[in-house]
Amino acid sequence: MCNLYKKSVSSAYSTCARSSHLNSKHPQRGAALLMAMLTVTLVATLAAASLWQQWRSVEVEAAERQRVQSNWILTGALDWARLILREDARSGGADHLAEPWAVPLQESRLSTFLAADRNNTGGIDSDDQVDAFLSGQITDMQSRLNITNLVQDSKISDVSLAAFNRLFELLNLPPLELTLLSTQLQLALDTRNGRNTDATVPLLPRDASQLGWLGLSPSTVAALQPFVTVLPVRTAVNINTASAQVLVASVPNLSLAQAQKLVAARASKYFRSTADANAILNQPTIVFNETEHGVATRYFEVLGRLRMGATTVLERSLVQRDGINVSTVWRERAVADPVGQATP
């Protein structure tokens, strides 16, 4: 009886021991599975981060390469434009719209000149070749009314103010904005020349798109841009390149019909002097004078447009020509958005 009791106790103890041993293995298997999942997650995260870093490096390198290529192509285009203007100066004579500099450069493909190896954007053997197209034009900036002419010797010029007043009337712009423009411009010029130290004086614009600095509304600035410019010094209007609206504004008593007649006449034969324009009009009360008008130009704007893939870069430069010397006054570059508007 005693032996039977001992056997039953021993059997029960063995059964409990085996059950406890089996139950202790389940937490170990769960911990191992959790560690495996964490390891896989960590490896995947590190791999994704490494891949992103590689992609970012490639994109930065491609963007930098494209920036450098755009820079030297647009610089070359500007040098080419300066060469054209220099050769035009060697030939002498009046500046008119039938000269080589006035012919716009239509969009031309330049991708094959960017590189000759597979590792460079635009290479002729590249699997992901990016086409590059260049276009541009040279514009006579003295074909427009010069904002700087409004102020002469620290005073508002009555002759120039009358010309701008006629332009404002022709474009149906508010005359009060012209008064604000002239007074603000006078203050800005006085500050630039050291005659005014007021910190509240507006900045002097560099081109017509910045005339809002002088108090003009955006709609007025947009309407004026095709007909006005901002140049470093006073300039005369080139009657060979000026639009009919600018001619009307620059000459008292000249009607729009008469200005259009002059534009049509110069298309067949450009004006060699202001006397040629006066002879066509043959009106004693309508006279082009040598002070406000001319047939030669010193200031030109060079516009370069480079399209590389989905990116379009625009560069505008103002150049000054004195004799055969053509120098750059300022340059600005911007990336155009998909609809063609330039953004800084």
Cα separations (Å) of 256 from 39, 221, 252, 299? 82, 22, 11, 26
Query: At residue 219, does pLDDT exceed 60?
Result: yes
Residue 14 placed within a domain: no
The pLDDT-based confidence of 107 (bands split at 50, 70, 90) is: confident
Q: Burial level of 298, CB count in 10 A (0-12/13-18/19+)?
A: buried
Residue 56 placed within a domain: no
Same domain, 282 and 213: yes
Mean pLDDT (the chain, rounded): 84
Same domain, 272 and 260: yes
Residue type, 121: T
Give the model confidence (pLDDT) of 303-339 as tens digits: 999 988 778 899 999 999 999 999 999 999 888 765 5
Q: What percent of the chain has pLDDT over 90?
A: 54
Q: What is the DSSP string of 94-122?
A: ---TTSGGGS-EEEEE-GGGT-SSTTSTT
Q: How far is Cα of residue 95 from the mean position of the Cα atoms in its chain?
A: 27
pLDDT at site 270: 94
Residue 54 placed within a domain: no
Same domain, 116 and 210: no
Q: Tell me the average pLDDT across 155-165.
A: 95
Instruction: List, in sequence order, every residue forming a beta bridge with 136; answer none if it has no partner.
Output: 105, 304
Residue where the block lists tokens 């870069």: 313
Instruction: List, in sequence order, every residue forming a beta bridge with 155; answer none if it has no partner.
Output: 152
Q: How many domains does the chain have?
A: 2
Q: How far is Cα of residue 88 from the mean position of the Cα atoms in its chain?
A: 27
Q: Nearest CA to 300 among 85, 30, 52, 40? A: 85
Residue 37 placed within a domain: no
Final residue before a domain boundary, out of 272, 294, 316: 294
Helix 175-192 × helix 158-170 angle, to 10°: 140
The pLDDT-based confidence of 92 (bands split at 50, 70, 90) is: confident
pLDDT at site 122: 46
Residue 217's CB is within 10 A of a number of other CB atoms, namely 14
Same domain, 128 and 214: no
Residue 49 placed within a domain: no
Domain span including residue 189: 145-294
Give the model confidence (pLDDT) of 184-214 as tens digits: 999 988 887 777 676 677 888 999 999 999 9
What does the block give as tokens for 60? Answer: 């930065």
pLDDT at site 23: 53
Residue 48 placed within a domain: no
Helix 274-281 × helix 256-268 angle, to 10°: 120
The pLDDT-based confidence of 94 (bands split at 50, 70, 90) is: very high
Same domain, 285 and 182: yes
DSSP-based three-state secondary structure for 273: coil
Q: How far apart are CA 224 and CA 181, in angstroms?
A: 12
Same domain, 248 and 305: no
Residue 93 placed within a domain: yes
Q: How far apart are CA 338 and CA 283, in angstroms?
A: 50
What does the block give as tokens for 341? Answer: 């508007």
Same domain, 79 and 200: no
Cα separations (Å) of 240 from 64, 90, 142, 206? 43, 19, 10, 25
What does the block give as tokens for 114? Answer: 């960017």
Q: What is the DSSP string of 155-200?
A: EE-HHHHHHHHHHHHHTT--HHHHHHHHHHHHHHHHHHTTS---TT
The pLDDT-based confidence of 34 (bands split at 50, 70, 90) is: confident
The CATH number given to whatever domain includes residue 74 is 3.30.1300.30
Same domain, 117 and 179: no
Query: At residue 265, does pLDDT exceed 60?
Result: yes
Residue 34 placed within a domain: no
Same domain, 241 and 310: no
Q: How far apart are CA 116 and CA 17, in angstroms?
A: 79
Range of weakest confidence among 88-92, 239-243, 332-336: 332-336
The pLDDT-based confidence of 170 (bands split at 50, 70, 90) is: very high
Which tops the pLDDT comparison, 1 or 275?
Answer: 275
Query: At residue 111, does pLDDT exceed 70?
Result: no
pLDDT at site 18: 52
Residue type, 34: L
Same domain, 225 and 331: no
